[in-house]
Structure 1
Amino acid sequence: MQPSAVPELAHTRTRPIHWVATATALAGVVALSTLAQPGPATAAQPATGTKTAAAAPPATTGVAFPLTCGTVKAVVTKKATGDLDGDGRPETVAVVHCDAPMGTPPDGVYVLTRAAGSATPRVVATLVDPKDRVTVTDFTLHAGTVTATLLGYSTDSVPSCCPDVKTPAAWTWNGHTFLRSTPAGAHSV
């Protein structure tokens, strides 16, 4: 057997410090990649020679939601934007509840729009009324359909801490109003 012409390399054996250095470098790359996000995608490119100004979706700040909160303020916990009615201007759907100091206040789901040429957003529809005593989870807006899971109570005697009814719901605009349905394949508990 002939001895190797190259001396044995020190880095051919992995040690814990090598794994720590690799994990640290990988964590740094992941952390930096979360800071540099691409802009939003658009489905269509404008025709050559035309200038289009994309309408900004209505903001939720400063909106008077139809919610009675007393001395606390209304808080937007979730929101999504999209063109729900096909008019080319985006709407904002917001999940809102009172900022109660304790407990789980019921949610309301509201659709906001802005009239053409107006800067002021306004509530045009209530999809979930806080009087229904539900909490909204799994909230999304995709392809003009708002979907959510509603956690509620079978009777008034069920404690507020422990919702016992889970109802999937979807809302779509039919040209006149938002219609509520149960998404395909959804089941209630």
Structure 2
Amino acid sequence: MYNSFFNDFAREAIATGIVLILLVLLRIITTKLVRRYARLSQTVERRTNLVIKYLHLLINILLLVALVIIWGVDAKDIIIAVSSLATIVGVAMVAQWSILSNITSGIILFFSYPFKIGDTIHIHDKDFPVIAEIEDIGAFYISMINKEGELVIYPNNLLLQKGISIINLESKSDSEFTD
């Protein structure tokens, strides 16, 4: 039975093996590249792991597509499955666009690296201006502590929409720290 399976599907089995080896290699290479970039830009480990997780998810999706093509699943069946899945995900994403926007913004902030933990920033928001020191940068938001010691949580997507100044507090007096 094993010989019969291998004889009937030798090409597919070999291609699957090659794809799996490529998967492992791509995951190792992307992990090393992101970690090297993070080390050079002094990025926080938690942010680095988050970007690596996103890239691994993308690689896994590409692997799944490759395996479907290799094993010759009927294109009509793939289109039906993908369109059904896209419909479900689309409805969910319309309801959760803010979460997706914050994740995307978190990735952009990771690679553009405009500020780091410990920087004091001024967010130029006419309704809610913020001057605070960055305590943590997450996938969805940054945590900051303002002059009064209050914890301020600010969504990543708004950081990309507002003007931001990076302030060097050592050169500022308390009177200059206010709006």
Q: Which has the larger radius of gyration?
A: 1
Give me the TM-score of the superposition, normalised by structure 1: 0.27
Higher relative contact order (CA 8 A, sep 6+): 2
Give me the TM-score of the superposition, normalised by structure 2: 0.28
| Greater fraction strand | 1
